[in-house]
Amino acid sequence: MKYNIAVLDGDGIGPEICSGAIKVLERIGEKFGHQFNFTHYLIGGSAIDACDTPLPVETVTGCLASDSVLLGAVGGYKWDNMPVDKRPEKGLLGIRKAMELYSNIRPAKLWKSLVSASPLRPDLVKDGVEIIIVRELTGGIYFGERGKGGEGKDAFAWDTEKYSVYEIERIMKIACELAIKRSKRIISVDKANVLESSRLWRKTVHEYAELHYPEIQVEDMLVDNTAMQIVKNPAQFDVVVTSNIFGDILSDEAAQVTGSIGMLASSSLGDGTRGLYEPIHGSAPDIAGKDIANPIATILAAAMMLRDSFGLQREYSAIEAAVGSVLEDGYRTADIMQEGKTRVNGSRMAQLIAERI
Ligand code: IPM
Ligand code: MG
């Protein structure tokens, strides 16, 4: 098959990690007889520098015309003090919204060979950890009304968290579809003891599951307690469904439990098959251009694209197995380096994974 992939390299380590993922996809193409065409578009800080906007129109049209999108990362010190419309993050939020990608799936998995990289005590993680965070991505406080006013000590600013039943139901459906193939358990995270929007969230997820997926057990957990439980007993989690902002925060925490944020990928989808696939980590400007960044998260993001957008399960598994085997053999980038293992740079890591496919 032929697939057109839009590549948004972004800033910092973005171009290096995308190039690692492309190398692996090309190898998949050779092995399984697919043709991947890559077209690069600007986003984030590099787009601000070139076109004075973090999300040029050509990027949006290019993504909407593609079969799927691979994204590196956006942001960097250089643009940290720019006005809000000229910030790299605006490009990322803008493309999520423009493609209507309301469902963000962030699996935090602890690889067997990396158990000792977890900052948690071995007895807490030895039986494996796989927390699949289903984060609502186009609503909530990220996109609610906001404003500011006043001056001096009277200056004020506000953001609003708002969710509709429609938005909660459609993300819950995604969580249910995942849970049905797994433990049939969902933990829904909210702050219903304080927030009105969370009370609607809680009521809606239960009503929806009871009506459409009665075999699924839905438990509620307050977000503060969830933050604690993730480090206390991470093995209790399977599928977690939550709002945009809670998902943002908890996915970084869950990622760290697995040892390296450099290992975790995410998929963002809407109603169609065209998605946006990216690592969970950021653009790491401090290590950009040194070829030390771990490309595995982006490689796994590319694998998720094959599975979730193109329905290529075998190709997904081939990448996952290649990553597992390279780790088993002791190859490590700096972020996951352990005593007695072989340190490799980012491009070598991608090469090793590609070779094993
Ligand atoms: C993420 C990031 C983004 C977010 C930022 C860069 C806007 O933290 O994808 O988790 O908050 O969604
Ligand atoms: Mg985040």
pLDDT digits (tens, 9 = 90+) for 42-98: 999 999 999 999 999 999 999 999 999 999 999 999 999 999 889 999 999 999 999
Per the DSSP assignment, residues forming a β-bridge with 73 are 10
Q: Report the pLDDT averaged over residues 88-113.
A: 94
**Beta carbon of 89 within 6 Å of any ligand 1 atom:** yes
Compute the residue count for the chain.
Answer: 357
248 is catalytic: yes
Mutate to test the pocket of ligand 1, among 71, 87, 93 (most ligand atoms within 8 A of CB): 93
Whether the predicted pLDDT of 322 surpasses 90: yes
Q: How confident is the model at residue 136 (pLDDT cuts 50, 70, 90)?
A: very high
Q: 113 falls in which pLDDT band (50, 70, 90)?
A: confident
Q: Among 107-111, 186-190, 200-204, 286-290, which stretch is predicted with the lowest mean pLDDT?
A: 107-111
Dist CA 60 CA 193 (whole Å): 39
- Tell how far the Cα of 280 is from the centroid of ligand 2, in angstroms: 7
280 CA from centroid of ligand 1 (Å)? 8
pLDDT at 98: 97
- Which of 89, 242, 249, 251 has the most ligand 1 atoms within 8 A of CB, as the residue to mutate? 89
Residue 112 appears among annotated catalytic residues: no
Q: Does 3 qualify as catalytic in the annotation?
A: no
- Please report the pLDDT score of residue 85 as a whole number: 85
pLDDT score for 307:
96
Domains detected in the chain: 1-104+264-357 (3.40.718.10), 119-257 (3.40.718.10)
pLDDT number for residue 245: 98
270 by Cβ neighbours in 10 Å (0-12 / 13-18 / 19+) ranks as middle
- In this prediction, residue 126 carries a pLDDT of 86
Mean pLDDT of 172-185: 97
Report d(CA 238, CA 108) in Å as an integer. 10
pLDDT digits (tens, 9 = 90+) for 257-292: 987 788 999 999 999 999 999 999 999 999 999 999
Catalytic residue, candidates 191, 208, 308, 316: 191
pLDDT tens for each residue of 223-263: 999 999 999 999 999 999 999 999 999 999 999 898 778 89
Nearest ligand to the C-alpha of residue 89?
1
Residue 258 confidence (pLDDT): 87
pTM greater than 0.85? yes
Q: Establish whether 238 is a catalytic residue.
A: no
Residues flanking ion ligand 2, Cβ below 5 Å: 248
The pLDDT-based confidence of 116 (bands split at 50, 70, 90) is confident
pLDDT at 331 > cutoff 90 = yes
| Residue-wise DSSP of 40-91 | EE--THHHHHHHSSSS-HHHHHHHHHSSEEEEEE---GGGTTS-GGG-HHHH
Q: What is the mean pLDDT of the chain?
A: 96
> What per-residue confidence (pLDDT) applies to 130?
94
Distance, in Å, from the CA atom of 253 to the CA atom of 234, rounded to the nearest integer, reads 11
Amino acid 52: pLDDT: 95
Name the residue among 15, 5, 4 with its Cα closest to residue 42: 15
Structure token digits, residue 3: 């697939």
* pLDDT of 20: 98
